[in-house]
Structure 1
Amino acid sequence: MTYRLRIEPSGHEMDCDRDETILEAALRHGFHIPYGCRNGTCATCKGRILRGEVDYGKVEEKILSAAEKDAGLALFCQAIPLSDVTIEVREIGATKDIQIKTLPSRVARIVDLAPDVRAVFLKIPTTERLQFLPGQYIDILLKDGGRRGFSLANIPGDDALLELHIKRVPGGVFTGHVFSAMKEKDILRFEGPLGTFFIRQESTRPLLMVATGTGFAPIKAMLESLFAQGSIRPIHFYWGVRHPEDFYYQDLLREWQARHDHFQVTRIVSRPDASWSGATGYVTTQVIHDFPDASTLDAYICGHPDMVFSLSAALQGAGLNPEHIYADAFVFAKAKTS
């Protein structure tokens, strides 16, 4: 049995299998809507059901509340139609010509960036090309059928290595392997590119970019792309970590600051020691202090979900329309980064 799925305001229609989520159906038919984790924890795919009934799937109350369900909202990565359904969501044209591939890769280089962060550089076969938008991620495919998602920290290039920033997660099977046993020339398979976290090129608004921890990875790719394009949009980047030694690529950030007058960086440490003389506390508090009126910005937020959700809400409270907030929540429990 299939149901008819309609997307508004575009008017696109397609069939949706009875065991298929709305997101799966849309992507299968080549229609791209916002999404991130694909398992109901990042809320990027939240949208409105205009007509019809759905099975909402297993979604935590804090991600999709009963009040939101009553208001017609659903997570499209979890919602399965129980009838013909019409949804309201913004479609994304930038990814429509990008092919999601499953490819082998070879570990070309491993670099320690911080005490608990490693950069893993992957080389794909010379006969292949991976087209992607800076900010997207790939899923490493494990032998047991699991998958682990990591953002790409580099910009596309014909012979570029794919750069991943991997944080050691206590008890994480894959990250434990990365830090204890992975070596150069190991072979990994991945699927990608995935996600809709990337710069909206049509906008000219000032950019607020915020990361915690290895949320810097997609932000790094976005910044490299903007600088390569010669963009002069004002950029203020906030990066929050627990300890000063958790920062990395500091020489690169200093170089960018020296070369680009429109680029500013604020580093924030939540658990400082005596050696740290910079900003302390949490990025959400600092950002809202610096931008009590956020209404003119485009915000790109990546990192721990608590920060992503709290800052998104705070920015809306400071006047920023949610249509100008783009986020990627690193949800450890969903095996995206564990």
Structure 2
Amino acid sequence: MPEYLITLETKDNQIIKFTCRNQEDVITAAERQQIILPQQCKSGVCGFCTAMKIHGKYTLQDYNPAALGPEQIATGKSLLCRTYPEANLTIYTNYNYSDIKFGQIPTVICSVLETQMVTSDVLHVIVKQAADGTDLISANMLAGQYVHILPIDRSCHRAYSIANTPNWDGLLEFYIENRSDGTLSSRLKSTQAGEHLLIQGPYGNFVIKEHGLKPRWFVAGGTGLSPILGMLGQMAELGEPHPTRLFFGLRYPKQLFAKEILDKLKSRLPDFDFQLCLSHPEPSWNFYQGSVLAALETAFSNTVDTPDVYICGSNRLIDSVVALANKYGINNQGIIYERFE
């Protein structure tokens, strides 16, 4: 079986080399050799693992064009989770060496404690890993990270952000968009308490960055609220005094979830407030009537602060918020985001 040499160069000019087997994608090959490259969906959907340029022959297979358009492909970009080498490759990335993790990512068995539809399209899932087990994910994770959830038969997998804080009890909590065509979410909806799932992780760099006492503003769309709940919860547990704001974007009132958690966070955090932003206004809505971008622009125009901005949601939301933050003088070092698709 042929093997190809992969030479990966990071943004800060560090070099990593590993081999890739025939009919093996680059992300899987690296992970097999305990090199964990920045990634998320592993299915060519989110665009998180986009390489800036690749030299060498490869095929790009089974991906969502929304994650990588023809104009990007024309410049040499590719999704590493869907990149299958046919020769030795040199890959240039847009992340630093410090963003790469090394070591074995654990896969553990968890018991389902609860599955509940909290809105018509959001599923709340709580699972528990045996607290006396090795590789306790809930204790080793950082607030804001995600895991891959797999059924016991390993027939599919999806990445979901963790909504709770690190703990020694083995508890992991998720808010998951339930899609009618969702390969895994539809199965999770029918999962009963006591059944088992495989959890692999933790992954991700969407975590709190320590930049002194700078204000922290969070922007979420839909279930993009999940990792932000974990971050806010951790701030509350640590008693962090940073001025903190959340802008939570929704289309309709029926999509609102976790309001009681946000209310509790408001009482626990010393300087926290949140806006629930409805893009399709209704007379009965008692919160902000307008898009999350409109609410955010109003806030930017009425402050002299330059907060760190954390964003989680769709590509469209992230690109729009990044452009808006740049407009008000916030450089990309102060913008941290994770794409949900």
Which one of the candidate residues 210, 227, 230 is aligned to 1:218?
Answer: 227
Q: Deviations over 1:182-241 (max 9, x none)?
A: 321122222222333222335654322111222211110111112223333332211112
| 2:109 corresponds to 1:104 | yes
Larger relative contact order (Cα-Cα within 8 Å, sequence gap ≥ 6): 1
Over the residues paired in the alignment, what is the CA RMSD in angstroms?
Answer: 3.1
1:63-78 equivalences under 5 Å are 63-78=67-82
Which one of the candidate residues 121, 128, 131 is aligned to 1:123?
Answer: 128
1:185-224 equivalences under 5 Å are 185-201=194-210, 205-224=214-233
Q: Deviations over 1:276-328 (max 9, x none)?
A: 13212322332234225999343222223432343334434544433443322
Question: Structure 2 CA distance, aligned partners of 1:295 and 1:16?
Answer: 47
- Indicate if the aligned counterparts of 2:37 and 2:100 stay in contact, CA closer than 8 A: no
What stretches of structure 1 of length at least 5 have no aligned partner?
332-338
SS of 1:103's equivalent in the other structure is: strand
Question: Structure 2 CA distance, aligned partners of 1:30 and 1:203?
Answer: 33
Q: Which amino acid aligns with 1:6?
A: L
1:1-338 equivalences under 5 Å are 1-8=3-10, 9-18=12-21, 19-49=23-53, 52-53=55-56, 55=58, 57-58=60-61, 59=63, 62-81=66-85, 82-91=87-96, 93=98, 96=101, 99-128=104-133, 129-130=136-137, 131-142=140-151, 143=153, 145-179=155-189, 181-201=190-210, 205-291=214-300, 296-331=306-341
Question: Structure 1 CA distance, aligned partners of 2:327 and 2:48?
Answer: 19
Cα distance, 1:103 vs structure 2 = 1.4
What stretches of structure 2 of length at least 5 have no aligned partner?
none
Aligned to 1:335: none
Q: Which amino acid aligns with 2:221?
A: T
Q: Deviations over 1:146-205 (max 9, x none)?
A: 1133211111211142111133323435433444x3321122222222333222335654
Instruction: Label 1:61 to 1:297 Cα distance change in 2 as closer, same or farther (>3 A).
Output: farther
- Indicate if the aligned counterparts of 2:145 and 2:161 stay in contact, CA closer than 8 A: yes
SS of 1:77's equivalent in the other structure is: helix
Question: Structure 2 CA distance, aligned partners of 1:99 and 1:263?
Answer: 38
Instruction: Label 1:312 to 1:16 Cα distance change in 2 as closer, same or farther (>3 A).
Output: farther
Question: Structure 1 CA distance, aligned partners of 2:170 and 2:287?
Answer: 35
Question: Structure 1 CA distance, aligned partners of 2:90 and 2:322?
Answer: 29
- Indicate if the aligned counterparts of 1:33 and 1:92 stay in contact, CA closer than 8 A: no
SS of 1:114's equivalent in the other structure is: coil
Cα distance, 1:29 vs structure 2 = 4.3
Q: Which amino acid aligns with 1:38?
A: K
Which deviates further from its counterpart, 69-78 or 131-140?
69-78
- Indicate if the aligned counterparts of 1:295 and 1:320 stay in contact, CA closer than 8 A: no
Instruction: Label 1:80 to 1:200 Cα distance change in 2 as closer, same or farther (>3 A).
Output: farther
- Indicate if the aligned counterparts of 1:56 and 1:74 stay in contact, CA closer than 8 A: no
SS of 2:101's equivalent in the other structure is: coil
Q: Deviations over 1:36-95 (max 9, x none)?
A: 22233322223433x733536145554334444455544333344543414243236477
Q: Which amino acid aligns with 1:172?
A: G
